Structure 1
Amino acid sequence: MPASSLILASASAVRAKLLADAGLRFEAVDSRVDEDAIKAGFAQSDKGHGDPENETDALALKLAEAKALAVSATNRQALVIGADQILSCEGKRYDKPKSMKEARANLLAFRGRPHILHSGVVLVAAGAAVWNLTARATLTMREFSEDFLDAYLEEAGERVMKSVGCYQLEGPGVQLFEKIEGDYFSILGLPLLPLLDELRRHGQAMP
């Protein structure tokens, strides 16, 4: 049994901090699901016939649910939060960069263009999803110079590889942007306000 009846099925320090700062008592457990396998299976099943943005919402939700279900399997008496986020730019989906070289290439691809952060969040109880939500935020990067980009990457360092967009808005990454549309918490990877509203219904947040 977990120490808390509320579990975050994630190893994300950012999501854990958002919940902790909101005053919630919970345990964080890494789901260890194979995200690459889920994405590959999804790519085979969607076949590109639907709206790309809606498909990306569905994939974010599928990943979030898979994480929550995996943790719920061994913690059936707890309410489990699953969350995931995917970035799309002009119809192409991006994963977290695996190297600084890839991060630089991604940022150049985003430069001067809007990209969308698709967030999915799911609540699972006793092995079944009881609530879910998707949210989008649109962020437009400015036409920064390559000199600026090199300086940014040097300052931010390997932290950029922890974010699908290669930035943290609460740090120097905010200087990459000219326009941001969307909920701040969703940009960080967790649509917090609707989640808190649902947690209140389950007695896991202050009424």
Structure 2
Amino acid sequence: MPEPVRPPYSLVLGSTSRYRRELLARLGLPFDVAAPDVDETPLPGEAPRALALRLAQAKARAVAAQHPQAVVIGSDQVADLAGQPLGKPGTHERATAQLRQMRGRTVVFQTAVAVVCQATGFAQVDIAPVEVRFRDLDDAEIERYLQAETPYDCAGSAKSEGLGISLLDAIVSDDPTALVGLPLIRTCRMLRAAGLVLP
């Protein structure tokens, strides 16, 4: 069991996502935020699960290189539709296309988290898959939803913590915050392993 992390070790979230920032704030730990400089392009033939794991580690390591005395969290989420990765749509047109693809189907949101501390040599990564079953949405429902919520910065175009919940039939997960963007149960487990004291 590692000794609890003390200053100068700080906690850094290697993500600019406001959703991850809000989730991490629930733990009551002081933390800084840093943007990871990572190319998120999938490798040829890379499965969604492998992509999420690789990017979470790459983000944590990229930020840890700039903050070697910190415990760094990196995370990534990829929507997995029958092996096809769906990222952040970015535009109304792409969000419409994604939701049309997913209607009446089950999508697995692969949310990976990595915790790295260069100073101590600590490194762990884990993934929390979340099965989401979408209703058989018609085009009018999709359009009303996108006009109301504009979820263009969310993998799979559906914000379950908001109006996106109305698009769904079921959610199956052992780490419920994973769908929002950061699996807190796994994150807490890894932060304890790194030496942080929780709660």
With normalisation by structure 2, the TM-score equals: 0.89
In the alignment, residue 27 of structure 2 is paired with which amino acid?
A
Structure 1 distance, partners of 2:153, 2:9, is 27
1:178 aligned to which of 169, 185, 191: 169
Aligned: 1:43 with 2:44: yes
- Cα distance, 1:56 vs. partner? 2.4
| Aligned residue in 2 for 1:195 | 187
Point out 4+ residue stretches in structure 1 off by more than 4 angstroms: none
Aligned: 1:58 with 2:78: no
User: Which structure has the higher relative contact order (CA within 8 Å, separation 6+)?
Assistant: 2
| Aligned residue in 1 for 2:142 | 149
- Cα distance, 1:89 vs. partner? 0.7
- Cα distance, 1:3 vs. partner? 8.8
Do the aligned partners of 2:161 and 2:180 also contact (CA within 8 Å) in 1?
no
Q: Which secondary structure state, in structure 2, belongs to the residue aligned with residue 18 of structure 1?
A: helix
Q: Which secondary structure state, in structure 2, belongs to the residue aligned with residue 204 of structure 1?
A: coil
Q: Which secondary structure state, in structure 1, belongs to the residue aligned with residue 78 of structure 2?
A: strand
- Cα distance, 1:206 vs. partner? 2.3
| Aligned residue in 2 for 1:121 | 113
Cα 1:4–1:21, aligned 2, differ >3 Å: closer, same or farther? farther
Q: Give the paired residue count.
A: 191
Structure 2 distance, partners of 1:145, 1:74, is 47
In the alignment, residue 15 of structure 2 is paired with which amino acid?
S
Structure 1 distance, partners of 2:195, 2:58, is 24
| Aligned residue in 2 for 1:93 | 85
Structure 1: stretches of 5+ with no match in the other structure: 47-54
2:124 aligned to which of 131, 140, 146: 131
Residue-by-residue CA offset, 1:108-133 (whole Å, 9 max, x unaligned): 00000000101111111117561111
Larger helix percent: 1
| Aligned residue in 1 for 2:160 | 169
| Aligned residue in 1 for 2:35 | 30
- Cα distance, 1:205 vs. partner? 3.3
2:100 aligned to which of 86, 95, 108: 108
Further displaced range: 91-100 or 62-71: 91-100
| Aligned residue in 1 for 2:66 | 74
| Aligned residue in 1 for 2:14 | 9
Q: Which secondary structure state, in structure 2, belongs to the residue aligned with residue 143 of structure 1?
A: coil
Structure 2 distance, partners of 1:104, 1:135, is 26
Structure 2: stretches of 5+ with no match in the other structure: 1-6
In the alignment, residue 29 of structure 1 is paired with which amino acid?
A
- Cα distance, 1:33 vs. partner? 1.2
Q: Note the aligned Cα RMSD (angstroms).
A: 1.9
Report sequence identity in percent: 34
With normalisation by structure 1, the TM-score equals: 0.86
